Amino acid sequence: MVFNDFSPLHEKCDLPFNIDCSQRPERQQPKPTLHCPRLNGYFAHEEDNVCDKFYFCVDGKFNMIQCPNGLVYNEKTGICTWPDEAKKKGCSSQEVLKFSCPTVSMSEAQQHPRYADPEDCQFFYVCINGETPRRNGCKRGQVFDDVTKNCDWPRKVPECQDWYKGIISDEELALLENPKPKPPRTGAAAEAANRRRGGKPSHRVVEEEEE
């Protein structure tokens, strides 16, 4: 951890990624423990070819964290980013994703072409400027159509029509494609929603009691 002297009103210790310490390069003597080069902070995995795992250390005790699919730990920012942004040796987009973008014309490359993941119908690759692959996915219940280059329902993509068999039931899949309409709100809930939309509250007639 390093000291944040940005404002005297918010003096505190912070992670090195959040503070510019170029004018204050001296650091305390580290006290390394298992997987923790220093007692506190985020640290890359010891093995260079393990790109998507890192350690979060508190008082010398570690917790290993895994990045979401397709992302790697960025030692410069302390967060998970795309492999091409992390620029870590042994963790390039091609090495992590095992996918290389096909060569295309310049005009096609400018459209950031999409390609189906050959092993997973739900996922696809976006080739940034036709060169750098980034793995993206369709929402639950959908698959990537390599013809239209869009996500769609399995029944419309012949080669992926059985992708969710054994994972999602036919009934659940049908509900995902055609969700049931929500019942209309009534009473106080409807009036509250109407006010949020800027509507006028309904008038209620109150009978006066006779004296």
Cα torsion at 202, 205, 206, 210 (round to 10°)? 170
Q: Give Dmax over CA atoms of the chain in angstroms.
A: 90
pLDDT tens, residue by residue, 169-204: 999 999 999 998 888 777 666 676 666 666 554 444
Q: Going by C-beta distance under 8 Å and a sequence separation of 6 or more, which residues neighbour residue 84?
A: 92, 93, 128, 132, 134
All structural domains of the chain with their residue ranges: 1-82, 99-179
Q: pLDDT at position 208, please?
A: 47
Q: pLDDT at position 211, please?
A: 44
Instruction: Give pTM, 2 decimals.
Output: 0.69
3-state secondary structure 155-196: HHCHHHCCCCCCCCCHHHHHHHHCCCCCCCCCHHHHHHHHHH
pLDDT tens, residue by residue, 133-146: 999 999 999 999 99
**Residue 159 backbone phi and psi in degrees, to 5:** -75, -10
CATH of domain 1-82: 2.170.140
Q: pLDDT at position 64, please?
A: 97
- Class level of CATH domain 99-179: mainly beta
Q: Do domains 1-82 and 99-179 have the same CATH topology?
A: yes
Measured CA to CA, the distance from residue 160 to residue 102 in angstroms comes to: 22
Eight-class DSSP state of 116: E
Residues of the chain with pLDDT under 50: 201-206, 208-211
H or E segment and range at residue 44: strand 41-44
